A = this chain, B = another copy of it.
Amino acid sequence: MSATINRQILLAEKPSGKLTPDHFRMVEGAIPEPKDGEVLLRVRYISLDAANRAWMQGATYRSAVEANSVMAGGGLAEVVATKSPGLAVGDIVFGDTGWQDYAAVPAKHLTKLTQVEPMTHLLSVYGVAGLTAYFGLLEIGKPKAGDTIVVSAAAGSVGSIVGQIAKIKGCRVVGIAGGKQKCDWLTSELGFDAAVDYKDGVLFKTLKAAAPDGIDVYFDNVGGDILEACLPQMKNYGRIVCCGAVSQYDGAPSPHGPRGLPGLIVVKRLVMQGFIVTDFMARRDQAVADLLSWVSSGRLKVQEDIIDGLENTPRALIGLLAGENRGKRMVRV
């Protein structure tokens, strides 16, 4: 990277099917000048999230990413010039920096962070992934000690933390992940009670064996067939935390929604509830304090998957959507 050039990765074309590197294009331009109220950011780490792909499909909780604009994405960045009284040079912030070396962003859209070591933890366990796991599980899932919790995308950034928090809360935890290696890692390293490989083709049966008394809380990161397999195994009054639907993001939308709905919701008196982590930001400090104490006591292990080079961001996202990451994936810019 030159100190005078700003490399930017654009979404060159909105994907209609599977995302490929050809949907992106790198351009080079001048480093922007911050306007009044803005700061100039040097982006340090770009967060890769399944939701990035959903943003290309249309408006969600944010407007859609349009073709020929800088690809949107959360980033951890350092303030290198400021025209805002609230932020100083050297401050570390989180915000939607986009996929680029530098960004000029209104200070009001940024969150100033307390520095920790390693800094990357601000994007993983103390960032959106950790907070999503924390608030989604505890506020929406409301697990009680002894409950059976099932989490999908369990080896991912959110799932790996959901399962560990559930263990801290005294639950029995079953993870659903793709492949034997991830499953082994969940049980041997992260302390999950069981892990189920959805790629083995008999998910309903293996899940039944892993949670023979049924599921109290299903933390759903994926939707689709895995949600469909969990639904009939929910206990009466069970709770489904709708966190994401990664199975539906990359490619054509599923021709069918989860079969058995809403009938199973009625007869089992289930609650399915969605949430967006930003709704809980007023209580961020409490969550970070809990997460910090669990990490420092060794009860919560942080897994990060760091890829070097802005130019590798498209492939990093494509790989994430294919499930190749373990823990929080990010790009070091």
Contact = CB atoms under 8 A, between A and B. Distances in A.
Interface of A: 54, 60-61, 220, 223, 227-228, 240, 242-245, 248, 253-276, 279
Given A256-B255, A256-B257, A257-B256, A269 B262 contact: no
Contacts of A265: 242, 272-274
Given A257-B258, A261-B223, A276 B269 contact: yes
Most chain-B Cβ atoms within 10 A of its Cβ — which of A60, A61, A269, A270?
A269
Contacts of A269: 273-276, 279
Nearest to A257: B257
A277 to B, nearest CB: 11
A274 B279 contact: no
The 6 closest A-B pairs by CB, nearest first: A256-B256, A257-B257, A265-B274, A266-B274, A242-B265, A257-B258
Contacts of A244: 266
25 contacts: A54-B263, A220-B262, A223-B262, A223-B263, A227-B262, A240-B262, A245-B263, A248-B263, A254-B259, A255-B256, A255-B259, A256-B259, A257-B258, A257-B259, A258-B261, A264-B274, A265-B272, A266-B274, A266-B276, A268-B274, A269-B273, A270-B273, A271-B274, A272-B272, A272-B273
Contact of A243 (B228, B266, B272, B275): B266
Contacts of A261: 223, 257-258, 261
B262 A272 contact: yes
A82 to B, nearest CB: 34
Most chain-B Cβ atoms within 10 A of its Cβ — which of A227, A248, A257?
A257
A323 B303 CA distance: 56
A228 B256 CA distance: 11
A113 B288 CA distance: 55
A204 to B, nearest CB: 16
Contact of A271 (B227, B228, B248, B273): B273
A308 to B, nearest CB: 31
A228 B258 CA distance: 12
A219 to B, nearest CB: 12
Contacts of A279: 269
Contacts of A253: 259
Given A267-B274, A271-B272, 7 more contacts: A242-B266, A258-B258, A265-B274, A266-B274, A268-B274, A270-B274, A271-B271
Contacts of A275: 266, 269
A203 to B, nearest CB: 17
A302 B129 CA distance: 52
Contacts of A220: 262
Nearest to A276: B269
A17 to B, nearest CB: 17
